[in-house]
Structure 1
């Protein structure tokens, strides 16, 4: 049966002490609620109904989904009231999964387990057992059958001894859900409409209610403050580190990396401490990433060495390249096989040819560098005239002397040499030498200025 999803994300999150809605705080570089949306869309949910309240404008500019339907909860009158805001969009003949927007570590395999349990019953809950369930709604059973969920504030002393708790996540038939939502009342300590009351209604109707559980309690752990947020972040990073190591990467310290996107690695990859990986990052076989590097939306080939403190963003690095330390590859940078970029080199929208070397203190912007060219220290391509960007082309086996400025648009031919300290403004033909610098004068007997007495 097709299923849709209702995500409860209307709470302000007062304990976060933030002007940002709680569900927009990021875990692994992605807003909490966006992580949940991504997970259910990967399961091909028919529709995703997002119940929102506080910070609606911020949510709408930050969150996206292919099948996302926005449902406003103008007043926060409890979880049952929140789901009521989506009721008009729910079909009788579909299952409806209800999730909370502040539990970002829920895994697809856990939700698939919940769907599978629903196939065997009328209503399926996601529950978990905790050593300390204080403050949580307790799962009340009559034998194996679940009969009710009792909120902590409304629980008896005996019920508070129960360790199995409600996660707020469940799935049931659309027709049942809509019928039960109409019957909800608010005669409780909080004066709110509890979604959990539908469990007791279902039990009284003789419905079969079963539970599924996650692999780890942290999957269903909600975020209430920044301390919780930090703990969830570390739990996610541990999960990501385990995945990387399982797939063949060696981590110098699994506790000191940050994955903020989708990272894939080949075999025998080494990643040193404090490496941050964002967006989509692909790392090839036998590649080494040095300490304190930042990799963003990039592809790095086999047998590459990235030395410490380098930043690679939107770039493609071919096999057998060397980068850094303290190098920066900006979007559009391409390194061909066996190329080298050294310390304090910046590349932007440039191609560095096979075997070419830019060893230090250089800026390449909007440039094409041929195979085996050698770019000396302090060289810059002057690609911007204040209005337009222009291109520099450097041929194969060209040699650019230190501290040269290549004023684009300009072309340096194959095998050409540019003398150190030159400012090149016109084409240099192949196999020729270009020297463009002021003539040196030596003034004998010159005396330095002295400070005037006051």
Structure 2
């Protein structure tokens, strides 16, 4: 079977002024990834595929994001804003290579799926020159209507130009199109700018195709899948749709979500079997949770791996670089960062473990902190296996605590502790007989109002 080659052009040059943000629109996050990343992830991959991303002048950050997600992407600059067809022709060089199929998509439609792209390309194998993605809108106001006759797309009529009968049509243009790659450049170059704005609009490709005696068709999808993002309100709506998808996928995979609507996931969250997530948990990007782990309520986890049968929270914060071994326990009000905690480690409450290595089966007492930052640089704390660190201890990095070592409560450890050694660092306690009584009398006298 011959594999059809494809070129996907992603239009990502929009300024997104309605987002009211200095961040380019396509870089706004959705489920822990940029809008652009979602689109690029869904675009065709593998042998015979190519990606072109059209960005605006000075948008190096957009280009960098595109290359990070799809290193093979080629970046083109749209230096003038003269419409969608003009934007596509910024990648004229790529189109001219003549892939079998040409997909034109927008960088702000993050809910589009790979399966829909495949369905959109399918009619091209049967001889269609153009396939347009459409959806039935609950409220079609403002959308271009797809005019279909005898199963063929004959026109895209903008809302302002539509007749009352055409405005009653709910089948609307999503803006995403697939062209016969061998004819794509000829079709797009024929699009004119005879309109009030003197711009070149991709929707006019339908009329061009019809005038050439070629076939245009519609492929339908859901309204949710083709949501465009132009405002922060629309971004929030898309987030809700994405979270519903991710929760359903997690539940279908066997994850126990006790209150699914309160749990927020990232697009790349990975779960093992028999994982339980309690209410009000936020999981950011780069998180892997292994078999049997339990994430208790009000925990926040980003860029961390959690071992089998580990327990996290409630009220725990796992920051980037955290790795929990099998059976490790992170309790309430514990924060970790760039820390490797091996199997069976217990940090049950009120502690900070950062830039650290903690060996298997070590117990970290309440209120313990690794003092990893000296105001200029970060330093590492290394704790061996089977060690015991008493409550309210401060481990001043760089420092090493040996295997089986015991740190007395309230100690400030600034020197390495050998294996199986006991380290205690405290000032001598002084008891002053009657001192408390004298303090109370003095304080009470000071508070008594003068006559």
TM-score, with length taken from structure 2: 0.87
Q: Alignment partner for residue 180 of structure 2, among 170, 173, 181?
A: 173
Aligned residue runs from structure 1 range 368-387, under 5 A = 368-383=382-397
- Of 87, 93, 100, the residue aligned with 1:82 is 87
2:329 is equivalent to residue 322 of structure 1: yes
CA offset digits 1:292-341 (Å, max 9, x no partner):
2111122112222212111123222122221111111211x222222211
Secondary structure in structure 1 of the residue aligned to 2:207:
helix
- Between 14-23 and 28-37, the greater mean CA deviation after superposition: 14-23
Deviations 1:11-70 (A, max 9, x none): 222322233322222211222122212322646673322222276244345543312222
8 A Cα contact 1:99 1:170, kept in partner: yes
Distance in 1, matches of 2:203 and 2:279, equals 45
Aligned mates of 1:197, 1:439 — CA distance in 2: 86
Q: Deviations over 1:406-428 (max 9, x none)?
A: 114x13322x2233xx1xxxxxx
- Range with greater deviation from structure 2 (218-227 or 8-17): 8-17
Unmatched runs of 5 consecutive residues or more in structure 2:
373-379, 447-451
Q: Report the CA distance between 1:226 and its aligned residue.
A: 1.4
| Residue in structure 2 matching 1:288, options 265, 279, 294 | 294
**1:392 equivalent among 377, 391, 400:** 400
TM-superposition CA deviations, 1:223-281 (whole Å, max 9, x none): 12111111001111111111111111111222222223411112221112221212221
Summarize the alignment of residues 295-444 of structure 1 with structure 2, pairs less than 5 Å apart: 295-313=301-319, 314-331=321-338, 333-364=339-370, 366-383=380-397, 390-396=398-404, 398-408=405-415, 410-414=416-420, 416-419=421-424, 422=425, 437-442=426-431
Question: Any conservation in 2 of the 1:286–1:304 contact (CA below 8 Å)?
Answer: yes
Equivalent positions of 1:20-59 (< 5 A) are 20-40=23-43, 42=45, 46-53=49-56, 56-59=59-62
Equivalent pairs, count: 427
**Distance in 2 between the 1:127 and 1:41 partners?**
19
Going from structure 1 to structure 2, the CA distance change for 1:128 and 1:404 (only over 3 Å counts) comes to: same
Q: Is 1:268 aligned with 2:271?
A: no
Cα distance in 2 for partners of 1:208, 1:442 equals 96
Work out which of the residue numbers 107, 120, 129 in structure 2 matches 1:122.
129
Moved more, 442-451 or 228-237: 442-451
Gaps of 5+ in 1: 384-389, 423-436
For the 8 Å contact 1:392–1:406, the answer to whether it is kept is: no
- The correspondence for 1:13, drawn from 13, 16, 22, is 16
Q: Which residue does the alignment assign to 2:376?
A: none
SS at match of 1:368: strand
Q: Distance in 1 between matches of 2:119 and 2:292?
A: 37
Superposed structure 1 runs of 4+ greater than 6 Å apart:
449-453
Assess if the C-alpha contact under 8 Å between 2:298 and 2:313 holds in 1: no
Q: Normalising by the residue count of structure 1, what TM-score does the alignment of the two structures yield?
A: 0.87
Q: Note the aligned Cα RMSD (angstroms).
A: 2.5
Q: What is the alpha-carbon distance in structure 1 between the residues aligned to residue 23 and residue 431 of structure 2?
A: 65
Which of the residues 202, 221, 227 maps onto 1:221?
Answer: 227
Give the aligned partner of residue 255 of structure 1: 261
Residue 195 of structure 1 corresponds to which residue in structure 2?
202
From 99, 102, 110, the equivalent of 2:108 is 102
Q: How far off its partner does 1:393 sit?
A: 2.5
What is residue 210 of structure 1 aligned with on the other side? Answer: 217
Q: Do residues 157 (structure 1) and 171 (structure 2) align?
A: no
Q: Contact (CA 8 Å) 2:246, 2:267: kept in 1 or not?
A: no
Per-residue CA distance 1:194-223 (angstroms, 9 max, x = gap): 111111221232323233233x32110111
Matched position secondary structure for 2:82: coil
CA distance in 1, matches of 2:229, 2:251: 27
